[in-house]
Structure 1
Amino acid sequence: MTIHDLETPALLIDATVLDRNLRTMAEYCSDHTLALRPHTKTHKIPEIARLQLQHGAAGITVAKLGEAEVMADAGITDILIVYPLWGEKKWKRLTDLASRGRIAVAVDSLVVAAGVAQAAKAAGVEIGIRAEFDTGFHRCGWAITTDAMAELEKIIALPGLRWDGILVYPGHIMGNQNTRERDIEHENKILDALFELLDSASIPYPVVSGGNTPAAFASHRFHRLTEIRPGTYVFNDRNTVEAESAEFNDCALTVLVTVVSTSISGRAILDAGSKTLSADALLSGDRLGYGYILQHPEFKLKELSEEHGHLGIPNHSRIRIGDRLRVVPNHVCTCINLHDRVYLVEGEQVIDEWKVAARGKVA
């Protein structure tokens, strides 16, 4: 079967580019003595998670318990959940997972850690704990204060928990190479302040986990980092390219679409809207448009309806109903979560079909 036999819209993964992206990140981490624990919320596909492990990943990262359960069902046993889990039902699911493998979870409060510890003790399992600190993204994580150190000392003493270390997420480091230099310098000052407080309190930190895709290949410059958790690097997307962390030929995933209407002058309609591409805007650069047309960079995907992509085209362009195009989405993580399956391709040949097994696992 070839891509011409597929109904559109369809997600295509270039097998050669995927393999190159996996190898490049694995080799970088090996060269800089960094553990790689990739964030699988990008792809949500057990087959790709297994490829990452085959390339040397120490384990995987997920955002939600449902994603962890899918990966555990696929035989993956070393999983970090980077999300604060609250409530007895979630703690029960967490302890069930811990009975099947080496599980760790991020926390940023004593009350959550105490709930996890109580559930772990009752179930007779051990759950790893990583303390998350806020270094500038202002989403989750303790503020870097002596009060946080006092809470952390109490958490480390709780039965049922394994103290793994600390975790940060520099999600605010998204700019181009020029601004990234400044951002890394600022991040290191914050990290140094964190390490000073930890050292003063005699709190060990065997693991210092951080990293994101835009700054992934500068991870060795972040102070005392031992592990990184990039996700988007497996596919890359328009955001990654705009952040000068990849080129379009590094984008392994594209959306195959078809032109279905040309009735409006200067515009073509694609059979892919926000329910196919996602409506996420660019995070840097000109922040305009909803995807990049590989065959025609001069075309602009200006608007999205739910099922329609509004493509602005020069009036002299020859584009016809039935023409097929390939779109690099702005944000690949939200795009893939809208699809049941992806097609692995070599050139125009379809060589495999993978289920997006963890899509929709938001609980």
Structure 2
Amino acid sequence: MDNNWFILSDTTQIDSPALLLYKDRVAYNINLMLQIAGDAERLIPHVKTYKMTELVRMQIMRGITKFKCATIAEAEMTAKAGASTVVIAHQLVGPKIERWAQLVQAYPQVEFVSLVDCADAASAYQVVFLRFGLTANVLVDVNNAMDRSGHPVDDQLFPFYQSLFRYPYLRVLGLHVYDGNFRDADFAARKAKSDQAFAGIKVLLEQIRTAGLPEPLVIAGGSPAQTVHTLREGVHISPGTCLVWDWGYGEGLPDQPFQWAGLVFTRVISKPKAGFITVDLGHKAIAAENPIDKRVKFLNLENYRCVSQSEEHLVLEVSDWDNWKVGDALYGVPYHICPTINLYEDAFVIQNGEWVDTWNVIARKRKIAI
């Protein structure tokens, strides 16, 4: 294995901090995601991690045509890229409902879907789509033990699901079941927790079938649980981070050998005192929601400690201070890649150590056109 795979042959034209995207590693990760799923039709990958048109198209070229997203802008980007189905994995409120209807109107060839977990939201969807003369495709969002969103798994869940068929401008497609809280490093432990939480979904599915309702689409899990849910017959999986991976998932999910494909590039900008260097990788350049020692792992630096971070600076205590000079480059793996990518307008695409292209992180915007 090439331990220096990340090193660029020429850094003179790349300003720092920067986001580097290693295209061949992304392609490897897409292949592995397909192997885990067993079939491109089972995949509805999430685009929120990378937010780039070109990465959606790389997957479409491999037969993946259905995607999940988190924002209207991500939905618009994915539709423009050529997706057949786009699931907006939120219960939409306020102006977002009308923007969703505008997307449906603007891209009639695309099946747009959103989530619903209560009667208030269903009624709001009905009002807007009635006005547009369109149909809102929905999945019932189920709170499958994560307690973040969704209808609880209780004796009111099936009656709620059944009630949605009375809305003439809603089309009920099935269930959205996200269990991103199960992240045990041990696969057996992760599977046991996911299986326990999914037991209520099995009961719900039986109720739906017994009632003679249409066979539901079931979308379950993200990157951590994809290896669990792929074992469930008829369940679609929606990983996303696995396309670029990060230090956090790489450390916590040893059963999933995806490759780091997105790095941050930074430079030494000061040596303020003996034993300390400062790089230009502040809060504005890497996700900073975790403790300071869980934000970045440098690949070409050993025996160091992150001391402090501010908006533009990251101070490191290093053991080989004399070996570093102002202007030297460091390459880091973010602990959490999703919000890190969101901090950059563009990604520098790297192949064979060369900068070959620049891809716009277009869906970091809250609005593209709609």
Q: TM-score, normalization: structure 1?
A: 0.90
Aligned to 2:226: 216
- Choose from 180, 191, 206 the match for 2:190: 180
- In structure 2, the partner of 1:10 is 18
Is 2:268 the partner of 1:263?
no
Distance 2:121 2:20 in 1: 40
* Shift in Å, 1:278: 1.6
Instruction: Rate the CA distance shift 1:297–1:248 in 2: closer, same or farther, 3 A.
Output: farther
The letter for the 2-side match of 1:187 is A
Aligned twin of 2:250:
241
Change (3 A) 1:138 1:297: farther
Counterpart amino acid of residue 122 in structure 2: A
| 1:184 counterpart SS class | helix
Aligned pair 1:91/2:97, yes or no? yes
**In 2, are the aligned partners of 1:145 and 1:197 still within 8 Å (CA)?**
no
2:114: which partner in 1?
Answer: 105
Tell me which moved more, 240-249 or 45-54.
240-249
Aligned length: 356
8 Å contact kept, 2:144–2:198:
no
CA distance in 1, matches of 2:168, 2:44: 26
Counterpart amino acid of 1:127? A
Query: Take 2:133 and 2:309, find their aligned partners in 1: how far apart are those partners?
Result: 51
Following superposition, the deviation at residue 159 of structure 1 comes to: 1.0
Amino acid at match of 2:303: E
Query: Deviation string for 1:306-351 (max 9, x for gaps)?
Result: 1111223225662222211100001111001010000110132111
1:309 aligns with 2:319: no
**Structure-2 change in CA distance of 1:311 and 1:57 (3 Å):** same
Distance (whole Å) between structure 1 residues aligned to residue 254 and residue 211 of structure 2: 37
5+ residue gaps, structure 2, are 1-8
- 2:3 paired residue number: none
1:337 maps to which of 337, 342, 361: 342
% identical equivalent positions: 25
Deviating more after overlay: 336-345 vs 140-149: 140-149
Match of residue 40 from structure 1: 47
The answer to whether the 8 A contact 1:276-1:339 is kept is yes
Cα 1:106–1:70 change in 2 (3 A) is: same
Structure 1 partner of 2:30: 22
What residue is the counterpart of 1:354 in the other structure?
359
Match of 1:125 among 124, 134, 138: 134
Distance 2:191 2:273 in 1: 45
Q: Tell me the SS of whatever aligns to 1:274.
A: coil
Stretch moving more, 10-19 or 58-67:
58-67
Cα-Cα RMSD: 2.5
Q: Is the 8 A contact 1:86 1:112 kept in 2?
A: yes
CA distance in 2, matches of 1:73, 1:265: 52
- Where do 5+ consecutive residues of structure 1 fail to align? none
Shifted more, 298-307 versus 273-282: the winner is 298-307
**CA distance in structure 1 between the partners assigned to 2:20 and 2:112 by the alignment:** 32
Instruction: Read off the aligned partner of 1:78 and give its amino acid letter.
Output: T
One-letter identity of the residue aligned with 1:91: I
Matched ranges for 1:250-329 at <5 A:
250-281=259-290, 288-314=293-319, 318-329=323-334
Please state how far the C-alpha of 1:260 moved relative to its aligned partner: 1.1
